[in-house]
Amino acid sequence: MKSKIVSIIKYNVEKNIRSKWFVILNVLLLLITLVGINFSTVSDIFKKDNIKFKEDTEILLCDNDNLIYEDLNNSLKDIDGVVLKKEEEKEYNKENLKKNQIAVKVDKEGTDIKAKVTSQEGVSSLYIDLIQSSLNNAKKMLYAKENNISIESLNEAFEDVKIERKMLSVDNEDTDKKYTMQTIFNYLIFFILLMILSKIANDISQEKLTKSIEYVLTSISERGYLIAKVLSINLTFVLQLIFAILYLILGFLVNVLLKIYFLAPNISLAQNVDMTGITTFIDKNLVIYFLVAFVYLFFTIFILSIIQAILSSKTTNISDAGNATVILVTVNLVIYLLSTFIVTPLKSPTTFSYIISCVPVASMYFVPTMILIGQANIFQVIIATLLLILSCVLLVKYGAKMFKNGVLDYRNIKEKDNLKQSTYDIQMQKIAKKEYSKIGFVLGISVLVFVLLQLGLTYVLQIFTLPIYNLFNGKLSVTNVNTIIQMISFVISLVIPSLIVFIYTEKSKEKNKVNKKKCIKYILITLPIVLLVQIVIGIILEKLGLNYDIVEKVNIYDDKTVIGKILLFVELALLPAIFEELYVRKAILNFTKKYGTVFAIISSSLLFSVIHFNLSQMLFAFVMGVILSIITLKSGSIIPSFAIHLLNNGYEALMLIFENNLNVISIINGIYIILIIIGIICIIKEIIKSKGKIKLLENVKVEDNEELKKVKKYRYIAYDYSFILAVVICITLLLSMQKLLTII
């Protein structure tokens, strides 16, 4: 058995090393290493031999008062490839200014200095910084001379106060060096993980597709093959690391030889190799850090390699296996970022940091770093190491069977006396998963587009403020124009998501004629119900401390002109009634109703409440959404829901517009009361007619999907990434808006 494992490892390692891609990669690495290490040395050789590939940069300085010439000249004299020349004042253009020239004009105005830099194209930030520094020094000199202050005193006055920090509870010695080493090592970890996991995913996917792995598994156990495969790929990468280290050594040796033969031929080899930097860099903590880090890296890579092998065995193509690799690397990136926040030399470790540091995989990022900054303890290291080893053993033991089943597509078939799924049930689950995840996709994408347009359009459309203002020759105020822009962005942000949903909505075969009398009846019946709901929810919100007026909070009503009042009514009442109903009741309700009427009502009402993005409106919006969805389904038209929405928002808008006109307020209230009384009479009449038995969804004609009704796995909606992202963004926006409204 052992000999077969060794044979497989030898075969795979040899195959990997001899492959043309391995050779190409190593040739590239060798060339990059040699060029990177020796680039500056070769440049020095060319400079020594006066070999130039480009002209020196010339700074043409017009400084009649001699303000910065001396200071700038001193700054530039140690910089190769730049020449400072004094020039008389002249106007520069494309014809008389070369590409390698920078014209600088400096003038004095009292104690102030003005400077102008002219060039054909972009100027190196190094030269600009030096010019800026010289100008600042010159300005200080003028100020000091004008106020009879020494330049030393002036510099001392504006010098930053130095703070000496000493933290007794943490080890913050050589913090920068430790962070640098940690960062370099973690980048190396990600590179290693990406290479190894990608290789495992690619090899196993190809072997599964070609079925060559099935032949191998006839002569060796799945456990032996899994260990051999993982070890062979890891050993290949170890060899790659050895090659990379050799390339570095070779690069440094070539660098020394170039210096000896071309730059300093009389200096011995020993004199060229400076060991002081190496000896001062090494300390006890760093040695321990690297030893522990490499041990943990070995076990962690072994664990992740087995997980990658299992995931790759269950895929049907190389692309899916690659996606699994991305997921594993992303998880590692998240853990690493978490470790950078939790483990820091500026703060003592918590109990949570010690617990999470013992978790396999996470321990690779936590334990070595905590050792590096002196925060680890012996019990933590022992527990983390034991858990790592135990994870490797358990994964090999139980993961091997999962790996084999994935490769050979075995399925665990239960005994006849157990419950088992028929082919029909399996197909139904697949259909349900596909259909319900499509709901998540459509809802998610439409909400994401809505949020993006809501947040971005207002700012984008601001560029049209001035053109619109000029179009009306000042008849509209800037406030009016901004209101119009907000309304345009509101309409677009609802119309586009609605169109997206319409694309995925199946068109009804039957065209229902709108019954006007039925629509009027539902409008009148709904008005008293909406009023009752408002009163009850108002009391609930008041008890919860959420009963505040969002309109007052955002100061939306600040224009007393006639045009301002009209725009306010359109913005608060008319547009929401039209376009929110278009999106929620016309698009979302129609799209979801084939999955069940109750589901359609609840999902569309939830969406209706969420898009308001504040808790004070969400509860009422949800209940209102349920009511409007029911009357939309019963009437077969969005006209009643549009009318109710308009009357509800319109009443609030009119109260704001005519708040100082008691006569108009009285008339509006009188009309509203009359409509409520008529609505109550209609409700009583309906109750008598139906003998007290009112069914909310009675006679609602919906083309339910009969097949899906048998499954109803609504959890599959959350299987879509866009839906999850939309939920996260909506919750974040809700919390942000709520916090904003509570502090305004």
pLDDT band for 68, please (50, 70, 90 cuts).
confident
Question: Do 609 and 535 share a domain, yes or no?
Answer: yes
The more confidently predicted of residues 2 and 598 is: 598
Residues 6+ apart with CB under 8 A from 151: 140, 141, 144
Question: Do 333 and 434 share a domain, yes or no?
Answer: no
pLDDT score of 577 more than 90: yes
pLDDT score of 30 more than 70: yes
Query: Which of 64-68, 489-493, 505-509, 729-733 shows the lowest mean pLDDT across its residues?
Result: 505-509
Calculate the average pLDDT of the chain: 78
Single out the residue in 114, 134, 157 at which a domain terminates: 157
The more confidently predicted of residues 210 and 547 is: 210
Question: Do 245 and 300 share a domain, yes or no?
Answer: yes
Which whole number is the average pLDDT over 588-605?
88
pLDDT band for 389, please (50, 70, 90 cuts).
very high
The more confidently predicted of residues 699 and 16 is: 16
Question: Do 107 and 8 share a domain, yes or no?
Answer: no
Residue 276 confidence (pLDDT): 43
Residue 744 confidence (pLDDT): 52
Question: Do 149 and 217 share a domain, yes or no?
Answer: no
pLDDT band for 440, please (50, 70, 90 cuts).
confident
pLDDT band for 702, please (50, 70, 90 cuts).
low
pLDDT band for 273, please (50, 70, 90 cuts).
very low
pLDDT score of 412 more than 50: no
Which whole number is the average pLDDT over 477-494?
88
Assign residue 144 the CATH number of its domain: 3.40.190
Is 422 contained in some domain? no
Residue 162 confidence (pLDDT): 59
Is 99 contained in some domain? yes
pLDDT score of 245 more than 50: yes
Question: Do 135 and 187 share a domain, yes or no?
Answer: no
Is 437 contained in some domain? yes
Q: 569: domain range?
A: 427-442+491-743
- Per the listing, tokens 């070999």 go with 51
pLDDT band for 283, please (50, 70, 90 cuts).
low
pLDDT band for 284, please (50, 70, 90 cuts).
low
pLDDT score of 719 more than 80: no
Query: Which of 309-313, 597-601, 650-654 shows the lowest mean pLDDT across its residues?
Result: 309-313
Question: Do 672 and 728 share a domain, yes or no?
Answer: yes
pLDDT score of 45 more than 90: no
- For the CA atoms of the chain, what is the radius of gyration? 37
Which whole number is the average pLDDT over 358-374?
86
pLDDT band for 272, please (50, 70, 90 cuts).
very low
Single out the residue in 132, 157, 182 at which a domain terminates: 157
Is 29 contained in some domain? no
Question: Do 132 and 182 share a domain, yes or no?
Answer: no
pLDDT band for 725, please (50, 70, 90 cuts).
confident
Which whole number is the average pLDDT over 389-396?
91
Which whole number is the average pLDDT over 548-563?
58
Contacts 24+ apart (CB under 8 A), 699-702: 699/634, 700/597, 700/633, 700/634, 701/512, 701/636, 702/593, 702/594, 702/597, 702/600, 702/633
SS3 of 506-567: CCCCCCCCCCHHHHHHHHHHHHHHHHHHHHHHHHHHHHHCCCCCHHHHCCCCCCCCHHHHHH
Is 109 contained in some domain? yes
pLDDT score of 278 more than 50: no
Residues 6+ apart with CB under 8 A from 547: 538, 541, 616
pLDDT band for 640, please (50, 70, 90 cuts).
very high
The more confidently predicted of residues 433 and 263 is: 433
Residue 431 token pair: 């259909």
Question: Do 383 and 521 share a domain, yes or no?
Answer: no
Residue 311 confidence (pLDDT): 83
Residue 270 confidence (pLDDT): 46
Question: Do 585 and 697 share a domain, yes or no?
Answer: yes
pLDDT score of 2 more than 60: yes
Question: Do 110 and 245 share a domain, yes or no?
Answer: no
Residue 508 confidence (pLDDT): 67
The more confidently predicted of residues 376 and 716 is: 376
Percent of the chain at pLDDT exceeding 70: 77
Is 588 contained in some domain? yes
> In this structure, are residues 169 and 348 in contact, taking their beta carbons and an 8 Å threshold?
yes
Question: Do 109 and 189 share a domain, yes or no?
Answer: no
For 609-639, b/e burial (b = at least 16 CB within 10 A) is: bbbbbbbbbbbbbbbbbbbbbbbbbbbbbbb
Residue 414 confidence (pLDDT): 41
Single out the residue in 157, 188, 213 at which a domain terminates: 157
Which whole number is the average pLDDT over 700-717?
61
| β pairing state of 101-109 and 112-119 | antiparallel
pLDDT band for 34, please (50, 70, 90 cuts).
confident
Q: How many domains does the chain have?
A: 3
pLDDT band for 711, please (50, 70, 90 cuts).
low
Indicate the SS3 state at residue 695.
coil
Is 139 contained in some domain? yes
pLDDT band for 645, please (50, 70, 90 cuts).
very high
In whole angstroms, give the CA distance from residue 302 to residue 230.
Answer: 7
Residue 715 confidence (pLDDT): 75
Residue 170 confidence (pLDDT): 44
Is 162 contained in some domain? no
